[in-house]
Amino acid sequence: MHIPDGYLGPITCVAGFAAMAPVWAIASSKVKKTLQAKQVPLLAIGAAFSFVIMMFNVPIPGGTTGHAVGAVLVAILLCPWAATIAVSVALVIQALLFGDGGITAIGANCFNMAFVLPFVGYGIYRIISGNSPVTSVRRVIAAGIGGYIGLVVASLCAGIEFGIQPLLHHTASGQALYCPYGLNIAVPAMVGGHALIFGWVELLVTALVVKFLQIQEPSLLKTELEVVK
Protein backbone atom coordinates (compact mmCIF):
# COMPACT_ATOMS: atom_id res chain seq x y z
CA MET A 1 0.00 0.00 0.00
CA HIS A 2 3.09 2.24 -0.19
CA ILE A 3 2.26 4.44 -3.18
CA PRO A 4 5.56 5.22 -4.98
CA ASP A 5 6.59 8.51 -6.62
CA GLY A 6 5.02 8.97 -10.03
CA TYR A 7 1.69 7.24 -9.41
CA LEU A 8 -0.07 10.27 -7.93
CA GLY A 9 -0.30 13.60 -9.73
CA PRO A 10 0.42 16.93 -8.05
CA ILE A 11 -3.19 17.54 -6.99
CA THR A 12 -3.42 14.31 -4.99
CA CYS A 13 0.09 14.71 -3.54
CA VAL A 14 -0.68 18.23 -2.32
CA ALA A 15 -4.09 17.10 -1.03
CA GLY A 16 -2.38 14.32 0.93
CA PHE A 17 -0.03 16.73 2.69
CA ALA A 18 -2.82 19.28 3.16
CA ALA A 19 -4.99 16.64 4.82
CA MET A 20 -2.17 15.40 7.03
CA ALA A 21 -0.88 18.82 8.19
CA PRO A 22 -3.78 19.43 10.61
CA VAL A 23 -3.84 15.73 11.59
CA TRP A 24 -0.15 15.84 12.53
CA ALA A 25 -0.72 19.13 14.41
CA ILE A 26 -3.66 17.76 16.38
CA ALA A 27 -1.85 14.46 17.00
CA SER A 28 1.11 16.38 18.43
CA SER A 29 -1.03 18.42 20.78
CA LYS A 30 -3.12 15.38 21.87
CA VAL A 31 -0.01 13.30 22.50
CA LYS A 32 1.57 16.21 24.35
CA LYS A 33 -1.44 16.26 26.71
CA THR A 34 -1.81 12.52 27.23
CA LEU A 35 1.57 10.83 26.76
CA GLN A 36 3.36 10.23 30.03
CA ALA A 37 7.16 10.21 30.12
CA LYS A 38 7.11 6.50 30.97
CA GLN A 39 5.13 5.78 27.80
CA VAL A 40 7.83 7.20 25.50
CA PRO A 41 9.51 3.78 25.09
CA LEU A 42 6.14 2.33 24.04
CA LEU A 43 5.77 4.99 21.36
CA ALA A 44 9.26 4.11 20.10
CA ILE A 45 8.53 0.37 20.19
CA GLY A 46 5.25 1.05 18.36
CA ALA A 47 7.00 2.92 15.53
CA ALA A 48 9.67 0.22 15.23
CA PHE A 49 7.08 -2.58 15.34
CA SER A 50 5.08 -0.96 12.55
CA PHE A 51 8.27 -0.53 10.51
CA VAL A 52 9.40 -4.14 10.81
CA ILE A 53 5.97 -5.79 10.47
CA MET A 54 5.57 -3.97 7.12
CA MET A 55 8.69 -5.82 5.90
CA PHE A 56 6.85 -9.14 6.20
CA ASN A 57 5.47 -9.23 2.68
CA VAL A 58 2.80 -11.86 2.23
CA PRO A 59 2.28 -13.19 -1.30
CA ILE A 60 -0.84 -13.87 -3.27
CA PRO A 61 0.72 -16.56 -5.52
CA GLY A 62 1.42 -15.25 -9.01
CA GLY A 63 -0.34 -12.00 -8.22
CA THR A 64 0.81 -9.44 -5.72
CA THR A 65 2.12 -8.91 -2.20
CA GLY A 66 0.92 -7.01 0.83
CA HIS A 67 1.60 -6.75 4.55
CA ALA A 68 0.21 -5.81 7.92
CA VAL A 69 0.85 -2.32 9.35
CA GLY A 70 0.29 -2.79 13.08
CA ALA A 71 -1.34 0.63 13.41
CA VAL A 72 -4.44 -0.56 15.30
CA LEU A 73 -2.24 -2.32 17.83
CA VAL A 74 -0.36 0.91 18.58
CA ALA A 75 -3.72 2.71 18.83
CA ILE A 76 -4.93 0.16 21.40
CA LEU A 77 -1.70 0.39 23.43
CA LEU A 78 -1.47 4.19 23.46
CA CYS A 79 -4.18 6.03 21.53
CA PRO A 80 -5.03 6.55 17.84
CA TRP A 81 -3.24 9.91 17.80
CA ALA A 82 -0.07 8.30 19.10
CA ALA A 83 -0.48 5.64 16.41
CA THR A 84 -0.61 8.43 13.82
CA ILE A 85 2.75 9.70 15.03
CA ALA A 86 4.37 6.25 15.37
CA VAL A 87 3.28 4.99 11.94
CA SER A 88 4.14 8.33 10.28
CA VAL A 89 7.69 8.06 11.65
CA ALA A 90 7.96 4.53 10.17
CA LEU A 91 6.54 5.62 6.79
CA VAL A 92 8.86 8.64 6.49
CA ILE A 93 11.93 6.50 7.22
CA GLN A 94 10.75 3.85 4.73
CA ALA A 95 10.32 6.51 2.03
CA LEU A 96 13.55 8.42 2.65
CA LEU A 97 16.00 5.63 3.33
CA PHE A 98 14.52 2.57 1.64
CA GLY A 99 12.52 4.05 -1.25
CA ASP A 100 9.41 2.23 -0.01
CA GLY A 101 6.63 4.69 -0.77
CA GLY A 102 7.36 7.92 -2.66
CA ILE A 103 8.45 11.14 -1.01
CA THR A 104 5.77 13.02 -2.98
CA ALA A 105 3.25 10.47 -1.68
CA ILE A 106 4.24 10.66 2.01
CA GLY A 107 1.12 12.75 2.72
CA ALA A 108 -1.22 10.29 0.99
CA ASN A 109 0.50 7.20 2.42
CA CYS A 110 0.36 8.65 5.94
CA PHE A 111 -3.30 9.56 5.39
CA ASN A 112 -4.12 5.93 4.51
CA MET A 113 -1.91 4.00 6.91
CA ALA A 114 -1.21 6.43 9.78
CA PHE A 115 -4.61 8.16 9.99
CA VAL A 116 -7.49 6.23 8.40
CA LEU A 117 -6.19 2.82 9.48
CA PRO A 118 -5.63 3.42 13.22
CA PHE A 119 -8.76 5.54 13.66
CA VAL A 120 -11.16 3.23 11.82
CA GLY A 121 -9.60 0.16 13.43
CA TYR A 122 -9.58 1.64 16.94
CA GLY A 123 -13.19 2.84 16.56
CA ILE A 124 -14.30 -0.69 15.65
CA TYR A 125 -12.23 -2.09 18.53
CA ARG A 126 -13.93 0.21 21.04
CA ILE A 127 -17.42 -0.45 19.68
CA ILE A 128 -17.01 -4.24 19.82
CA SER A 129 -15.16 -4.16 23.17
CA GLY A 130 -17.96 -2.25 24.87
CA ASN A 131 -17.61 -2.59 28.62
CA SER A 132 -15.92 -5.98 28.49
CA PRO A 133 -13.05 -6.58 30.93
CA VAL A 134 -9.51 -5.89 29.70
CA THR A 135 -8.66 -9.60 29.79
CA SER A 136 -11.80 -10.82 27.99
CA VAL A 137 -11.82 -12.84 24.78
CA ARG A 138 -14.13 -10.17 23.39
CA ARG A 139 -11.24 -7.69 23.44
CA VAL A 140 -9.06 -10.06 21.44
CA ILE A 141 -11.78 -10.51 18.82
CA ALA A 142 -12.46 -6.75 18.80
CA ALA A 143 -8.77 -6.03 18.22
CA GLY A 144 -8.59 -8.51 15.34
CA ILE A 145 -11.72 -7.25 13.60
CA GLY A 146 -10.54 -3.67 14.14
CA GLY A 147 -7.24 -4.51 12.46
CA TYR A 148 -8.95 -6.23 9.55
CA ILE A 149 -11.51 -3.51 8.81
CA GLY A 150 -8.97 -0.73 9.40
CA LEU A 151 -6.59 -2.19 6.82
CA VAL A 152 -9.34 -2.83 4.26
CA VAL A 153 -10.68 0.72 4.58
CA ALA A 154 -7.14 2.10 4.27
CA SER A 155 -6.66 0.03 1.08
CA LEU A 156 -9.94 1.45 -0.25
CA CYS A 157 -8.52 4.97 0.25
CA ALA A 158 -5.31 3.98 -1.58
CA GLY A 159 -7.39 2.44 -4.39
CA ILE A 160 -9.38 5.65 -4.78
CA GLU A 161 -6.19 7.76 -4.81
CA PHE A 162 -4.70 5.53 -7.52
CA GLY A 163 -7.98 5.33 -9.44
CA ILE A 164 -8.75 9.04 -9.76
CA GLN A 165 -5.42 9.75 -11.50
CA PRO A 166 -6.56 8.97 -15.09
CA LEU A 167 -9.54 11.30 -14.51
CA LEU A 168 -7.38 14.13 -13.13
CA HIS A 169 -4.38 13.95 -15.45
CA HIS A 170 -4.28 12.70 -19.04
CA THR A 171 -2.94 13.79 -22.40
CA ALA A 172 -5.18 15.04 -25.22
CA SER A 173 -5.05 11.55 -26.71
CA GLY A 174 -6.23 9.99 -23.46
CA GLN A 175 -2.95 8.55 -22.18
CA ALA A 176 -2.63 8.71 -18.41
CA LEU A 177 0.13 10.92 -16.98
CA TYR A 178 0.40 9.10 -13.65
CA CYS A 179 -1.30 5.91 -12.43
CA PRO A 180 -2.79 4.45 -15.64
CA TYR A 181 -5.56 2.46 -13.95
CA GLY A 182 -8.94 4.00 -13.15
CA LEU A 183 -11.25 3.40 -10.20
CA ASN A 184 -12.82 0.35 -11.88
CA ILE A 185 -9.49 -1.50 -11.67
CA ALA A 186 -7.57 0.17 -8.83
CA VAL A 187 -10.29 -0.09 -6.17
CA PRO A 188 -11.11 -3.81 -6.67
CA ALA A 189 -7.38 -4.63 -6.92
CA MET A 190 -6.47 -2.84 -3.68
CA VAL A 191 -9.55 -3.80 -1.67
CA GLY A 192 -9.61 -7.35 -3.06
CA GLY A 193 -6.07 -8.26 -1.97
CA HIS A 194 -6.50 -6.68 1.43
CA ALA A 195 -9.94 -8.16 2.14
CA LEU A 196 -8.85 -11.61 0.94
CA ILE A 197 -5.39 -11.99 2.47
CA PHE A 198 -3.56 -9.02 3.97
CA GLY A 199 -6.44 -7.94 6.23
CA TRP A 200 -6.33 -11.37 7.86
CA VAL A 201 -2.63 -10.91 8.55
CA GLU A 202 -3.39 -7.61 10.30
CA LEU A 203 -6.22 -9.39 12.17
CA LEU A 204 -3.89 -12.14 13.39
CA VAL A 205 -1.04 -9.83 14.34
CA THR A 206 -3.31 -7.45 16.26
CA ALA A 207 -5.29 -10.19 18.03
CA LEU A 208 -2.23 -12.27 18.96
CA VAL A 209 -0.30 -9.37 20.47
CA VAL A 210 -3.39 -8.25 22.43
CA LYS A 211 -3.78 -11.84 23.70
CA PHE A 212 -0.07 -11.87 24.67
CA LEU A 213 -0.47 -8.57 26.56
CA GLN A 214 -3.60 -9.83 28.34
CA ILE A 215 -1.45 -12.60 29.81
CA GLN A 216 1.72 -10.56 30.39
CA GLU A 217 0.68 -7.02 31.26
CA PRO A 218 -3.08 -6.35 31.01
CA SER A 219 -2.66 -2.81 32.42
CA LEU A 220 -1.23 -1.76 29.03
CA LEU A 221 -4.60 -2.49 27.42
CA LYS A 222 -6.57 -0.11 29.63
CA THR A 223 -8.01 2.95 27.96
CA GLU A 224 -7.44 6.37 29.52
CA LEU A 225 -10.83 6.26 31.24
CA GLU A 226 -10.18 2.84 32.70
CA VAL A 227 -6.83 4.00 34.04
CA VAL A 228 -8.54 6.90 35.85
CA LYS A 229 -11.07 4.51 37.39
Partner 1 sequence: MKITTKLWLGLGTLALLSPIGLYLPEKFKAGDAWGEWDGDKIKEFVGYIPAGFEKLSSLWHAAMPDYAFKGWEEKGLGHLSFAYIVSAVVGIALCVGGAWLLGKLLSGKQ
Interacting positions 188-227 with partner 1 (CB under 8 A):
189-190, 193, 213, 216-217, 220
44 binds partner 1 (CB under 8 A): yes
Residue 229: CA count within 13 A, CB half-sphere: 7
Spatial distance between the Cα atoms of 121 and 130, rounded to a whole number of angstroms: 14
For residue 175, the minimal CB distance to partner 1 (Å) is 6
For residue 127, the minimal CB distance to partner 1 (Å) is 27
Quick check: helix, strand or coil at residue 126?
A: helix
For residue 125, the minimal CB distance to partner 1 (Å) is 20
Spatial distance between the Cα atoms of 219 and 226, rounded to a whole number of angstroms: 9
Show contacts with partner 1 in window 105-144 (CB under 8 A): none
Write the binding mask 64 to 103 for partner 1: x where contact by CB under 8 A, - elsewhere. Answer: xxxx-----------------xx--xx-xxxxxxxxx-xx
| One residue of 11, 60, 137, 196 binding partner 1 per CB under 8 A | 60
What does each C-alpha distance from 19 to 39, 114, 127, 151, 175 come to in angstroms? 27, 12, 26, 19, 28
43 binds partner 1 (CB under 8 A): yes
Beta-carbon count within 10 A of 109 CB: 29
